Amino acid sequence: MTVTAKASPGARKAVLSWAFWDWGASAFSAVILTFVFSVYLTDGVAADTESGSQALGVALTIAGVAVALLAPVTGQRSDVGGRRKLWLGIHSAIAIACTAGLFFVQDEPSYLLAGLVLLAVGSVFFEFAEVNYNAMLVQVSTPKTMGRVSGFGWGMGYFGSVIALAIVLFAFVQPDVGLFGVTSEDGLNIRAVALFVAVWFLVFALPVLLFVPENPPSREQARGNFFAGYKVLVKRLVHLWRTDRRTLWFLAASAIYRDGLTAIFTFGGVVAAGTFGFSQTEVVMFAIVANVTAGIGAVSGGRLDDRLGPKTVIVTSLIALVIIGVALTVLPGKATFWVCGLALSVFLGPAQAASRTFLARIVEPEREGEAFGLYATTGRAVSFLGPLAFSGFIAIFDSQRAGMAGIVLILAAGLAAILPVKAPARQDG
């Protein structure tokens, strides 16, 4: 597959190496945070599901606050020092170490705190790594190829999570005696999953560290200690407000619709089971097919990004998501969920990938780490919107189907917010 137009072998190698990080890292999100290990903590380790779920929510909330407060300054300092790849490696290594440490969390309540701490710390450093990874987009692409490279990276993440989930499901979770003879005694099969994910993440994180050059240091010198970076950050925000409000408006608008995009995947399985009567096996099968579909959409949308611009891709995707979401809200039957759910997946990837390129195209050179730190922070700041809309509409209308309407409303609000934001200028190179 060609990922850049007329790219040299070295450039293609850099793009593939960069995208492999997402292939490996996606297993942390899909397997550890979403589908497997978090469920093990709440259902297998905690004394009961309710208290375990509450504790998990608290731990991840604390982690989210830490990311929101620290991400912009960590990104800023990696820009200044020319150490973006170094910090990507360090943050990835800490996340991998925390993942491996989950192997020691047995299925007894006394291990719950240790599991939650490892999960929360791992998620914080995973997101710090993602800030530097996103900022490296400008190092492995040109203005002419940025859209397809970003889409290729998102697609690799989706495809990687599918492969990792399939391996975990058939090698560890389903069999009575899994790979290497592991069984479910003391939660060993799920603990082994943590080791598998740690190794998977490590192996696919290596290419970007070996084959992508480090970014050069910015012309601005680091001043003072870490906390002095907040003073610099405030000055930068004031400067943006005075000279480049488009960037601030984009950060705010994208935070809204990105939370809606996240909510689709977060609550998709719940809706499939609760409203449309999917079995657990059907939910897993749908998740695998949906990730494949989203990956194909991300790669295709990336090419359209380079031709039409990221704003066109974002707006088109959001319009389609709102229309399909409305149909899914009012139409009954499993067939409806399969058709509409997969159609939603087609437009998820392009919206996510184009959002990354939109910011990369408008940010000042040598400020990418700081900008993507703010991107993470604004996303965290409104991360309550999707869950609140979903649960709130259910509470108001006493129907899980109404919860889907709440998510559609968030997407529509994000669409309205992005419309006035000026698109990036077309560039060649």
CA distance linking residue 37 with residue 192, whole number of Å: 10
* CB neighbour list of residue 395: distance below 8 Å, 6 or more residues apart: none
Closest-CA residue to 353 (of 93, 206, 166, 155): 155
- Give 37-95 pLDDT, tens digit per residue: 888 888 889 888 778 877 887 888 888 888 888 877 776 666 665 688 999 999 999 99
DSSP 8-state class, residue 420: T
The predicted pLDDT at position 6 comes to: 47
The predicted pLDDT at position 400 comes to: 77
Q: Which two tokens stand for residue 384?
A: 């309550």
Residue with the two structure tokens 């689709």: 264
For residue 215, the number of C-alpha atoms closer than 13 Å in the C-beta half-sphere is 32
For residue 233, the number of C-alpha atoms closer than 13 Å in the C-beta half-sphere is 22
Q: Are 314 and 355 in contact (CB under 8 A)?
A: yes
Q: Are 22 and 154 in contact (CB under 8 A)?
A: yes
The predicted pLDDT at position 193 comes to: 93
Residue with the two structure tokens 């203005």: 143
Closest-CA residue to 206 (of 17, 32, 27, 23): 17
Q: Which two tokens stand for residue 333?
A: 């039957």
User: Which runs of consecutive H residues, i.e. helices, occur in 136-244?
Assistant: 146-168, 188-211, 228-243
Written as one letter, the residue type at 170 is: F
Closest-CA residue to 17 (of 159, 164, 128, 139): 139
CA distance linking residue 231 with residue 419, whole number of Å: 32
The predicted pLDDT at position 427 comes to: 60
Burial of 13 from C-beta contacts in 10 A (0-12 / 13-18 / 19+)? middle
Q: Are 80 and 222 in contact (CB under 8 A)?
A: yes
Residues of the chain with pLDDT under 70: 1-10, 75-82, 217-233, 266, 270, 280-281, 366, 426-429
Residue with the two structure tokens 């790669």: 299
Written as one letter, the residue type at 230 is: Y
The predicted pLDDT at position 159 comes to: 93
The predicted pLDDT at position 68 comes to: 80
**pTM here?**
0.82
The CA angle 61-66-68, to the nearest 5 degrees, is 95
- Give 148-157 pLDDT, tens digit per residue: 999 999 899 9
Terminal CA-CA length for the chain: 21
Structural domains present in the chain: 11-212 (1.20.1250.20), 224-428 (1.20.1250.20)
CA distance linking residue 114 with residue 299, whole number of Å: 39
CA distance linking residue 236 with residue 251, whole number of Å: 14
Q: Which two tokens stand for residue 97?
A: 């170490």
